Amino acid sequence: MTTLFVILIILASAVLGLIVLIQNPKGGGLAGSVGGFSNQLMGVKQTTDVLEKGTWIFGALIGVLCLVSVFFIPRSAATSSGSATDATNATVPASTPAPANTNTVPMNTTPAPAPTPAPAPAGK
């Protein structure tokens, strides 16, 4: 399934590249966008030609394919990126318990404070 998404993304990218290369330039850069604010929105002329619609459609298609393909990538392929981390090729040494250290000092070595005696009643 991942291969299908990769092929679709590559085909859509190639078609998008061709559509962008076929388009005529629409202005003279910054100088061309200064004069006609009435038919522009943020520097892009609002034309309805087929090439511009194709650019938007294939750009959106590539974005959607990239986002959706994440859900179809198997988790085992995402976690094993190379042969060094591959779970089938990795050898795990037998675990040995750590030797007991008999020379340790407990963290709390201060003795607890002695309880204070209750004050004698003052009565005389």
pLDDT (tens digit per residue) in 84-103: 544 555 565 667 666 666 66
Mean pLDDT of the chain: 73
- Residue 60: inside a domain: yes
Q: Is the pTM of this model over 0.75?
A: no
Query: What's the number of domains the chain is made of?
Result: 1
- Residue 10: inside a domain: no
Going by C-alpha positions, the residue among 68, 67, 52 that lies closest to residue 16 is 52
The per-residue b/e assignment along 68-107, b for 16 or more CB within 10 angstroms, e otherwise, is: ebeeeeeeeeeeeeeeeeeeeeeeeeeeeeeeeeeeeeee
Domain that holds residue 62: 49-75
